[in-house]
Amino acid sequence: MKKICVVGTGYVGLITAACFADLGNRVIGLDINEKKIEGLKNGVMPIYEPGLKELVDRNMNAGRLSFTTSYTEALKDSQFVFIAVGTPSGVDGEADLRYVAAAARSVAQNMQGELIIINKSTVPVGTGDWVAGIVAEHQAEAIPFSVVSCPEFLREGAAIGDFMNPHRVILGSLDEEAADKVAQLHLPLRAPIVVTDLRTAEMIKYASNAFLATKISFINEIANICEDLGADVTEVAAGMGYDQRIGAQFLQAGIGYGGSCFPKDVKALAHMAEEKGRHPQLLHSVMEINDDRREMAVQRVKDMLEKESLEGITVGLLGLTFKPNTDDMRESPAVNIAQGLQAAGATVRAYDPIAMEEAAQMLPNVKMLPTPYQMAEGCDVLMVNTAWNEFRQLDLRQIRDTMKQPLLFDGRNIYDPEKMAALGFKYRGVGRGYNGRIEK
């Protein structure tokens, strides 16, 4: 049993803390947000993540997991401290490291014994060395420590599974003993462990996310061409995916990627390259294609209605989060799309299974309705933004009957075009032509 402290109990920190506790360690989660910690002590999860509450409850009851706002308490006997605070985008696209710096300072001021400091947050290449400098500078007396990079690869909505069954664990440190100790923590996961230097580990994280974002923008570009030529991008992706060199994952065309990682990580990587005088063309194209998806969505609604102005039109949004099984609204395409529709004159209403409260703060003029059926009533157009499973099972006949016009734009390709036509919808997906037929 190892003693671990996790600083930051957000999407990444809380999963990390709960999963390490479940592996039999004694874990204390620290956050500067008192309300969050108070909630966690009383079993209230600050985020929606499938399976998280059960995992936290189980490990708190077993005495392996606790929470605090006090660095002194958290570091009392910890051997490892994971830094998992947020690293949002700064003004120029660079990662804002102020929270990482604050955490490193507090760790330095409160550490009471030898410590391995592990960076989980996604930080620019070189940050590990910088953190080591901050810690050394702020210690009251010199206590030995090491900094190891261990980037997270947790998808929201599937984060517990991703933690427990990782494709790989990346560890960056030139201190072999420290890297070995962190590797030991991960041994029960039975995954390949790559040990490299700090900067290379930090780069692996950026390169991985940028590559996945590139796959998404690639298939979205192919979707556009499919629309022009009358081919079906879902079949194209399936056909491509059987080639193991390509792989089937992250080839779903749609309204583009959002969330707390891809947008900021691609931007931050481009920024790092530019600071060195490079022009990272591919990364810029990836971002541009992704931004265009949001405009494409608004334009498609106009095309379906054969109108440029949406005055007097009501559009209903099915789903608001950037992906299913999360309540996270960060960088969700739905936000820009709703704003774009409103700017064109439309009245926008929405339904999301989990995130309506949060979304209402970002979209004050969008009316949130408690069921998809109430939401669809009187709409001219419905649009799918998020592939929530419950949307696959809707009574679409009932929905069609209460709509003003039977127009449906499926931004995530969750429905079958033939079936939708048979139900009497004028349906458009993304990149879904068929044998030369082009759906306009």
Supply the residues annotated as catalytic.
261
CB 254 within 8 A of CB 247: no
Among 5, 12, 108, 313, binds ligand UDX (CB under 6 A): 12
Can residue 323 be called a binding residue for ligand UDX (CB under 6 A)?
A: yes
Nearest to 146 by CA among 128, 121, 124, 168: 128
Counting contacts by CB under 6 A, is residue 10 touching ligand UDX?
Answer: yes
Interface with ligand UDX, residue 87, by CB under 6 A:
yes
Q: What's the min distance (Å) between Cβ of 47 and ligand UDX?
A: 7
Per-residue string for binding with ligand UDX, 99-138, x by CB under 6 A?
A: x--xx-----------------xx----------------
Using the minimum distance from each CB to ligand UDX, give the nearer residue, 94 or 380. 94
Would you give the DSSP letter of residue 123? -
CB of 8 to ligand UDX, least distance (A): 3
Least separation, in Å, of the C-beta of 281 and ligand UDX?
Answer: 21
Candidates 4, 13, 286, 429; binder of ligand UDX (CB under 6 A) is 13
**By the rule CB under 6 A, 9 interacts with ligand UDX:** yes
20 lines the binding site for ligand UDX (CB under 6 A) = no
CB of 260 within 8 A of CB of 330?
yes
Which residue number places its CB atom closest to ligand UDX?
Answer: 10
Strands (E), 355-420: 367-368, 381-384, 407-410
Q: Which among 72-80, 154-162, 184-192, 373-381 is the span making contact with ligand UDX, rule CB under 6 A?
A: 154-162
For the stretch 56-61, contacts whose Cβ atoms lie closer than 8 Å and that sit 24 or more positions apart, written own/partner, are 56/14, 56/18, 58/22, 59/18, 59/21, 59/22, 59/27
CA 69 to chain CA mean position, Å: 26
| Secondary element (H or E) of residue 71 | helix 71-75
Q: Based on CB atoms, which residue is closest to ligand UDX, 251 or 403? A: 251
Sheet holding 65-68, edge to edge: 65-68, 26-30, 3-7, 80-83, 115-119, 145-149, 169-172, 193-196
From 94, 156, 227, 358, residue interacting with ligand UDX (rule: CB under 6 A): 156
Q: Where are the beta strands (DSSP E) in 11-136?
A: 26-30, 65-68, 80-83, 115-119
The reply on whether position 149 binds ligand UDX by CB under 6 A is no
The token pair at 409 is 């734009």
DSSP character for 189? G
Q: By the criterion CB under 6 A, which residues form the site for ligand UDX?
A: 7-13, 31-33, 36, 84-87, 99, 102-103, 121-122, 153-156, 209, 212, 216, 250-252, 254, 257-262, 322-323
